[in-house]
Chain A
């Protein structure tokens, strides 16, 4: 069993501060943290090689170093707990099982950046997690770990748990900030990036739940111990949400670089695939899927998956077997993205819905020759011209699924006897306008 850095308290009742402390929790606060200057702490996080676990994998220490000091404005820490990517459920579990570790991570980050006020933006549907967080925050205040003069230092920090209202796009950091401020959850134009001007036009650090929860272990065991795990470019461990056709789906922590098949078949993990594996989505619904052959070569780290033209994303592994219709899977994904498009910029707003409607006609047996080409063309056109990556998140599975499983799509279109009919409107009558 590999070393666990984030999920070691699962199932131990660590929701209670007493249990958490008895398991070694909050020890970084009494031992090392407040002896480290802010620069030393950021340097320590940089040396650990920790990368953002929300999806993009941006080095955490570097992100922190972008936050300006002495700008005359407060620095905000916002925890992105708006986990909405289909297939991802690790943050929910993490907050549910070990909310104090998140609070400890936030205090560490807060000390590094001089944060006075921190927000946890939780997805609205995660009611149990919200309750666990609220209870944990209350306990932490009572224990003097939050509020004024934490651990006898001049450091003061407050944490607010903010419940989202149910929009996938609010996982995008600027949309999240807009939502937090009370505006409609729509991404902002960048620059300025949140590190310079985020929440309430002040420097803001937005970190994923898992990223912050890795910090207590790093502080306790040293950055070198963390960097030793995983691969040189993707150090540490990662929490994977595994679902789909596997024997034991769930949340698993493994060092980065672990082979994908190890996660699916290893005895510590999912213990095998149900049926014959057809493909795997390795990093949440917006990451391109791997075929069964590709999955056998895949290692779960940022670089190896990039080499297979997909991405680690949030670590949501979805395995599907040969009984699953890829056409149906893609149709439900495009429906999801069309429904979750925020409606701000044109290509994503109109394009995701347009592609979804065409795919719907294909699925319902009314596909025509050329429909798939049109979907691919539309998808390519809403990839790179949008404000935020939601367009790209929709086009990636479209281009990938149709590209890799083309024969299945063609077979569905082939069922339509009228597939070769010209694309004229059935109401079209020449000259009808003048009648």
Chain B
């Protein structure tokens, strides 16, 4: 496939614009881009299955048909593979009956052999086949029992149903995370292209040919890759579904909150999808400059932790106390302490760390701020992870949080109160952390019942990453916004900055106060606000490493 295979050319802000004629009207579109993208810029959505912005063009679904002028006059062509050139004529389904028929017939062909099991299909509601049927099909079925469907499936999974019809492969366990339904597959080739060209590990393939073709894994080999769940996102139908989300929720029940991955310093853009105060899944959110359309399985499964083992109240010397009491007690301890070690965290937002610095400033030399992480840093995988588990490491650096956890270990004896915020120090390196047990009062602000909470004398529950609004700076020097999803296990939980502000009597009323404080410390943040940061983030001037 050495040459049938090129990435689509997407419009960029600086792409030259040319005039083309669409449905009889002259319009300006970005030159040289794939027509499907150019039409999008003028508000025309073209139904499609196989085309994906971040995958090489395959051009096999034939749904995005348009008419364009060639050497032999107007003729059908696929919008995803036709480049824009100045002066070209394009007819979409709005003006061309031929295009309308072509699109409608592709719908009929796809549905002819597709099982209509939408009521039990997990993709229903976000299924491209359903959407495109409404957009381009709406035909009466001409299928009858005696003609029969050619269901897709590998020989070992073919079976006969109760009506005597030969069926293909259903709910096949192809790996630790993904379930395959061969019958529903429309052979758009997205998953195989993803595994080959993005994941770089060809674990899925299309076997056989004609309407007998089917998707499968290689004999005896599972689908098992750190990015394999992405195939369930790009699957336009319910052929590939993730075990973590299968039959958990109907997708139309879910509300979406745009935020940023908390487990890696690339800060993959994600959407937390929630219903009834619970997060049900995380989906990638396309950002071409950060993670494209992909997230790792580790990031995707972060949502599970949001409702697992949460520290939803306070705990004082092993007994549960109300949150408000815990916060008040923590404030009192810090106020009356001789010397406080305050550990800031790159796992938290700029706002949270700003509050930590502000409190330290308010207490003067009695409080010393420490920072850094004992977690090991890996290498970037080139897809959606930088390998650094400390998501906001860059933001902490910009704020001036020192990287000196090891100093704290050496000087533990100098302090009588330790405040650890949003860190699991004992899990990261219990040997080093053991020295901190010399400090008599250990206050921990945490979202989970982790090893550090277990070693604390006073623990205060705080909101987790998905439940707060704030900002982080990723490893590219891009400031990105987190938004709060209503999924906190207890309504009493507060964000870290708010707890700190109460402990330090900062009198801050919202994360904006924290952001203003951060702006006073970081010149690159000048003039920004949450709206101008936008959903895709912004590169900070002069920060890029």
Which residues of chain A have a CB within 8 Å of any CB of chain B? 167, 169, 174, 178, 181, 183-184, 188-189, 192, 197-198, 200-201, 338-347, 349-354, 357-358, 361, 366, 368, 374, 378, 381-382, 384-387, 423-427, 433
A211 to chain B, nearest CB (A): 23
Q: A174-B4, A188-B4 are in contact. Are A353 and B145 (CB under 8 A)?
A: no
In angstroms, Cα B61 to Cα A350, docked, is 11
Q: Would you give 18 A-B contacts (Cβ < 8 Å), ordered by A? A: A178-B4, A181-B2, A188-B3, A188-B5, A189-B58, A192-B3, A343-B209, A344-B187, A345-B62, A349-B187, A350-B112, A350-B113, A351-B109, A354-B109, A354-B113, A366-B146, A381-B102, A385-B62
CA distance A382 to B186 in the complex (A): 16
Is A340 a contact partner of B210 (Cβ separation < 8 A)?
A: yes
Q: Contacts of B142 on A, CB cut-off 8 Å?
A: 374, 423
Q: Which residues of A contact B59 (CB under 8 A)?
A: 189, 345, 387
A324 to chain B, nearest CB (A): 26
Do residues B3 and A197 form an inter-chain contact, with CB atoms below 8 A? Answer: yes
Partner of A201, one of B2, B60, B119, B206: B2
**CB interface residues, B 26-79, toward A, < 8 Å:** 57-63, 65, 75-76
Compute how far the CA of A200 lies from the CA of B2 in the bound complex, rounded to whole angstroms. 6
Given A357-B150, A374-B142, A382-B109, A346–B61 Cβ distance below 8 Å?
A: yes
**Is the Cβ of A345 less than 8 Å from the Cβ of B60?**
yes
* Cβ–Cβ < 8 Å partners of B186 in chain A: 346
Cβ of B60 and Cβ of A387 under 8 Å apart? Answer: yes
A178 to B163, CA, bound (A): 41
Interchain CB contact under 8 A, A342 and B109? no
- Contact check, A350 vs B213: say whether CB atoms are below 8 A apart: no
In the complex, what residues of A have CB within 8 A of residue B2's CB?
181, 197, 200-201
Give bound CA distance, A22 to B87, whole Å. 60
Contact among A192, A345, A353, A384 with B61 in the assembled complex (CB-CB below 8 Å): A345
B105 interface hit (Cβ, 8 Å) = yes
Q: A188-B3, A347-B62 are in contact. Are A384 and B187 (CB under 8 A)?
A: no
- When chains A and B are docked, how far (Å) is the Cα of A425 from the Cα of B60? 31
Query: 4 closest Cβ contacts across the A-B interface?
Result: A188-B4, A381-B105, A343-B213, A350-B109
Cβ of B147 under 8 Å from chain A? yes
The residue on B at minimum CB distance from A359 is: B147
* Chain B residues positioned under 8 Å from A338 (CB to CB): 210-211
A197 to B2, CA, bound (A): 9
Residues on the B chain within 8 Å of A350, using CB: 109-110, 112-113, 150, 211
Extra pairs beyond A339-B210, A426-B146 (5, CB < 8 Å): A183-B1, A197-B2, A349-B109, A349-B213, A374-B142
> Of B5, B75, B145, B210, which one neighbours A384 at CB under 8 angstroms?
B75
Q: Which residues of A contact B110 (CB under 8 A)?
A: 346, 350
**Known contacts A343-B208, A354-B112, A361-B147; is-contact A385 B102 (Cβ 8 Å):** yes
Select one of B105, B119, B211 contacting A349, CB under 8 A.
B211
Inside 8 A of A339's CB, which chain B residues have their CB?
A: 210
Chain B: CB-nearest residue to A357: B147
**A289-B108 Cα distance, complex, nearest whole Å:** 28
Q: Are B211 and A341 in contact (CB under 8 A)?
A: yes
CB nearest neighbor in B for A178? B1
- Considering only residues 428-472 of chain B, those with a C-beta below 8 Å from chain A are none
Contact between B144 and A423 (Cβ–Cβ < 8 Å)? yes
Known A-B contacts A346-B62, A346-B186; the reply to A353 vs B4 at CB < 8 A is no
Is there contact, CB below 8 Å, between A426 and B209?
no
The answer to whether A381 and B209 touch across the interface, beta carbons within 8 angstroms, is no
Chain B nearest Cβ from A84, distance in angstroms: 14
Contacts of B144 in A (CB 8 A): 368, 423-425
Q: Mark B96-126, 1 if CB is under 8 A from A, else 0.
A: 0000011001101110110000010000000
Nearest residue (CB) in A for B65 is: A385
Q: With both chains docked as a complex, state the minimum distance between the C-beta of A13 and any C-beta of chain B, in angstroms.
A: 40
A354 to B65, CA, bound (A): 21
> What residues on B are CB-neighbors of A346 within 8 Å?
60-63, 106, 109-110, 186-187
Q: Is the CB of B148 within 8 A of A357?
A: yes
Number of A-B contacts (CB under 8 A): 129
Scan B79-105; emit 1 where CB is below 8 A from any A CB, else 0. Answer: 001000000000000000000011001
Judge if B212 is at the interface, Cβ distance under 8 Å: yes
B1 touches A342 (CB 8 A): no
In this complex, the member of B1, B75, B119, B189 whose beta carbon has the largest number of chain A beta carbons within 10 angstroms is: B1
Contact check, B146 vs A201: say whether CB atoms are below 8 A apart.
Answer: no
CB distance from B84 to the nearest CB of A (A): 15
CB distance from A365 to the nearest CB of B (A): 11
A397–B272 Cα distance when bound, in Å, is: 54
Residues of B within 8 A of A423 (CB): 142, 144
| Known contacts A174-B4, A188-B1, A354-B112; A349/B106 CB under 8 A | no
- Distance (whole angstroms) from the CB of B55 to the closest CB of chain A: 14
Of A174, A178, A427, the residue contacting B145 (CB under 8 A) is A427
Given A188, A201, A342, A385, which contacts B105 in the complex, CB threshold below 8 Å?
Answer: A385
- B76 with A341: CB separation less than 8 A: no
- B contact residues around A345 at 8 Å (CB): 59-62
A344 and B60 contact, CB distance less than 8 A: yes
Residues of B within 8 A of A368 (CB): 144
User: Could you tell me the distance in whole angstroms from the C-beta of A422 to the nearest C-beta in chain B?
Assistant: 10
Interface centre among B101, B119, B142, B211 (most CB of A within 10 A): B211
- One digit per residue, 1 when the CB lies within 8 angstroms of any chain A CB and 0 when it does not, for chain B 144-167 equals 111110100000000000010000
| Bound Cα distance A183, B330 (Å) | 66
Once bound together, how far apart are the Cα atoms of A351 and B5, in whole Å?
Answer: 25
Shortest Cβ gap from A226 to chain B (Å): 28
- B406, chain A: closest CB distance, angstroms: 53
Closest residue of chain B to A351 (Cβ to Cβ) is B109
Chain A nearest CB from B525 CB (Å) reads 47
Contact A167–B62 (Cβ < 8 Å): no
- Least CB distance from B371 to A in Å reads 51
Enumerate chain A residues within 8 angstroms of B106, measured Cβ to Cβ: 346-347, 385
Residues of A within 8 A of B113 (CB): 350, 353-354
Query: Judging by beta carbons under 8 Å apart, are A353 and B150 in contact?
Result: yes
Q: Are A343 and B1 in contact (CB under 8 A)?
A: no
B146: A residues at CB distance < 8 A = 361, 366, 426
Chain B residues with CB under 8 Å of A169's CB are 209
* Cβ distance A30 to chain B, nearest Cβ, rounded Å: 38
Question: For the complex, what is the distance from the CA of A130 to the CA of B112, rounded to whole Å?
Answer: 41
Task: Determine if A167 and B209 form an interchain contact, defined as CB atoms under 8 angstroms apart.
Answer: yes
Q: Say yes or no: A426-B211 contact (C-beta < 8 A), given A189-B4, A346-B186, A347-B109.
A: no
A101 CB, min distance to chain B CBs, angstroms: 32
Query: Using Cβ atoms and an 8 Å threshold, which residues of chain B touch A201?
Result: 2-3
CB distance from A259 to the nearest CB of B (A): 30
Bound complex: CA A341 to CA B212 (Å): 10
- CB within 8 Å of A: which of B400-435? none
CA distance A201 to B57 in the complex (A): 17
Q: Using Cβ atoms and an 8 Å threshold, which residues of chain A touch B63?
A: 346
